[in-house]
């Protein structure tokens, strides 16, 4: 179970910024995703964390082929998934599915739950013969912990957590190999978050799924992920196993993020050191030269402005994109 299912290399997605009423002039690009590389192994969960606007969701859109990539490559089981067309793309759609962030807008309010979960079968009729679809929909609802008798209800009759389960059932319908979870729990209450995450974990064991799990909440990602990638301004700054990232972070940004995680133990709370970052995230239209984090980094020197730090292993045993990477345990 260690072979790579998705391999992403130097993936770039730039959105042109246009001005002008009649003749639109391109004045710059929003570098939403700017050279991202990672591997997703079969059956594993890759957590992607980062603050708002760092390009996590854009990455998901590009992987789902909802937005065309500007450059770079991505392969699914060895085949280039960015250039697929026609029947090959249809096949890819069956293998990669997405769970969206907002359960209130991701379900069509005018379709019954049965129609929503059954739609994948209508789009891919080869998956299930017509007669068996209603039964399959009931099974799916059962799998995600909903009452199969609610097939004729409408989304607004469900709570946020239940709606997210409907979204998960829809994504599961085609028995995909990979599910991209685009902040699937961010819009839910904390108590519901745990339920939905446990469901995702159970489904992974049951169906052998691989997840790309996008979130901005480090504790959420830790609960589910085997490996974690930390993104900042369109680039991955550090990637490693869950333990490497949480126990031995080497990139200052990761350390700052981790130091902001609340500690539930009042005894330990005084011991930890909080790293406060100054300023805001720079504009992705005009990112800083060299290291993108240098404008907010307390370690920044001259070299950070001139040389882009590559994502390579410098200290410890996982890659980190910092010239001055050093291990520092911030979570007591």
Give residues in contact with another protein (CB under 8 A). Answer: 64, 66, 89-90, 93-94, 97-98, 100-102, 105-112, 114-115, 118-120, 123-124, 134, 137, 147, 149, 151-154, 156-159, 162, 167, 170, 174
Q: Quick one: 122 or 280, whose CB is closer to another protein? A: 122
What is the closest distance, in whole angstroms, from the C-beta atom of residue 158 to another protein in the complex? 7
What is the closest distance, in whole angstroms, from the C-beta atom of residue 4 to another protein in the complex? 22
Q: Quick one: 98 or 230, whose CB is closer to another protein? A: 98
What is the closest distance, in whole angstroms, from the C-beta atom of residue 268 to another protein in the complex? 36
Q: Quick one: 98 or 258, whose CB is closer to another protein? A: 98
Note the Cα 252 to chain centre separation in Å.
21
Q: Quick one: 142 or 327, whose CB is closer to another protein? A: 142
Note the Cα 118 to chain centre separation in Å.
25
What is the closest distance, in whole angstroms, from the C-beta atom of residue 132 to another protein in the complex? 13
Provide the sign of the torsion angle of the four alpha carbons 5, 63, 240, 177, taken in this order.
negative
Beta bridge partners of 39: 7
What is the closest distance, in whole angstroms, from the C-beta atom of residue 110 to another protein in the complex? 4
Contact 179, 97 (CB under 8 A): yes
What is the closest distance, in whole angstroms, from the C-beta atom of residue 76 to another protein in the complex? 14
What is the closest distance, in whole angstroms, from the C-beta atom of residue 46 to another protein in the complex? 18
In a 10 Å sphere around its CB, with 0-12 CB exposed, 13-18 middle and 19+ buried, how is residue 68 labelled?
exposed
Q: Quick one: 80 or 105, whose CB is closer to another protein? A: 105
Burial code (b: 16+ CB inside 10 Å, e: under 16) for 215-230 equals bbebebbbbbbbbbbb
Q: Quick one: 141 or 221, whose CB is closer to another protein? A: 141
Q: Quick one: 45 or 164, whose CB is closer to another protein? A: 164
What is the closest distance, in whole angstroms, from the C-beta atom of residue 204 to another protein in the complex? 19
Q: Quick one: 166 or 228, whose CB is closer to another protein? A: 166
């Amino acid at each position: 179970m260690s072979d790579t299912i998705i391999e992403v290399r130097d993936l770039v997605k730039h959105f042109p910024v246009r001005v002008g009423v009649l003749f639109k002039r391109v004045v710059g690009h929003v570098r939403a995703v700017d050279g991202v590389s990672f591997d997703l192994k079969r059956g594993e969960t890759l957590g992607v964390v980062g603050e708002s606007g760092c390009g996590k969701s854009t990455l998901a859109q590009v992987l789902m082929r909802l937005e065309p990539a500007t450059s770079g490559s991505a392969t699914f089981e060895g085949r280039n998934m960015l250039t697929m067309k026609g029947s090959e793309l249809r096949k890819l759609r069956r293998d990669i599915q997405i769970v969206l962030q907002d359960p209130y807008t991701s379900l069509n309010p005018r379709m019954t739950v049965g129609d929503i979960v059954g739609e994948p079968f209508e789009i891919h009729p080869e998956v299930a013969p017509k007669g068996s679809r209603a039964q399959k929909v009931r099974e799916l609802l059962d799998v995600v912990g909903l009452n199969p008798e609610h097939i004729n209800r409408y989304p607004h009759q469900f709570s946020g957590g239940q709606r997210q389960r409907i979204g998960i059932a829809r994504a599961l319908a085609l028995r995909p190999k990979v599910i991209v979870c685009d902040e699937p729990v961010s819009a839910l209450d904390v108590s519901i978050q745990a339920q939905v995450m446990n469901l995702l974990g159970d489904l992974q064991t049951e169906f052998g799924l691989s997840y790309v799990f996008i979130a901005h909440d480090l504790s959420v990602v830790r609960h589910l992920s085997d490996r974690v990638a930390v993104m900042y301004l369109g680039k991955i700054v550090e990637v490693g196993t869950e333990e490497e990232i949480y126990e031995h972070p080497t990139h200052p940004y990761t350390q700052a993020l981790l130091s902001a995680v609340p500690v539930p133990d009042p005894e330990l709370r005084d011991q930890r050191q909080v790293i406060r970052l100054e300023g805001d995230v720079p504009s992705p239209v005009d990112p800083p030269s060299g290291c993108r984090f240098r404008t907010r980094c307390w370690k920044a020197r001259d070299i950070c402005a001139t040389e882009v730090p590559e994502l390579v292993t410098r200290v410890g045993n996982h890659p980190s994109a910092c010239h001055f990477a050093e291990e520092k345990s911030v979570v007591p």
